[in-house]
Homo-oligomer: A and B are copies of this chain.
Amino acid sequence: MKRSIACIALTLLPLFAAAQDRRSDDYVEYRQAAFTAMGWHFKKMGAMIQGRAPYDALEFKRRAEAVSALSQLPAEGFLPETQDTQLATRLKPEMWYQKERFDTYMQDLITATAELAAQAGAKDKDDLRSVYGSAARQCKNCHDRFRESD
């Protein structure tokens, strides 16, 4: 009896392992999706600020609000179990030893993008340059420390 239970357990083991991996991959896929959508809107705002695209106050506001909402999403994707993911990720492994700092960066991003969304709508894009720059700096802080470069 004991032996047959052990046999069943051994047979099922790869299934559990696969389920676990798949779960990790779901988390990674989710957090990368949130960053991809965030980057999309952030870059379009950057193009307006830098004059590579015509400035449209309403469009800028819509994108700033999207970024502010999106900034709250990725954090829950950083589960310690995702260290075993099979997906490509640029996250530096040392993040897991500095999770508190990482969480602070995430919170700073949320605050900075909320401020950007609050000020968005200004008639003159130059009034948004500094608040956009603050949000961009939050992205960069975290990328510099915790993301592998290209």
Query: Chain A residues in contact with chain B, CB under 8 A?
Result: 26, 29-30, 32-34, 36-37, 40, 65-66, 69-70, 72-73
By DSSP majority rule, is chain A's interface helix, strand, loop, or mixed? helix
* Contacts A/B (CB < 8 Å), 21 sampled: A26-B40, A29-B36, A30-B36, A30-B37, A30-B40, A32-B33, A33-B33, A33-B34, A33-B36, A33-B37, A33-B40, A34-B37, A37-B37, A37-B70, A37-B73, A65-B69, A66-B69, A66-B72, A66-B73, A69-B69, A69-B70
Residues on B with beta carbons closer than 8 Å to the beta carbon of A30:
36-37, 40
Q: Which residue of B lies closest to A72 (CB)?
A: B66
Taking CB atoms, residues of chain B closer than 8 Å to A40 are 26, 30, 33
CB distance from A64 to the nearest CB of B (A): 12
CB proximity of A77 to chain B, nearest CB, Å: 8
Q: B residues within 8 A CB of A66?
A: 69, 72-73
Bound-state CA distance A36–B66 (Å) is: 15
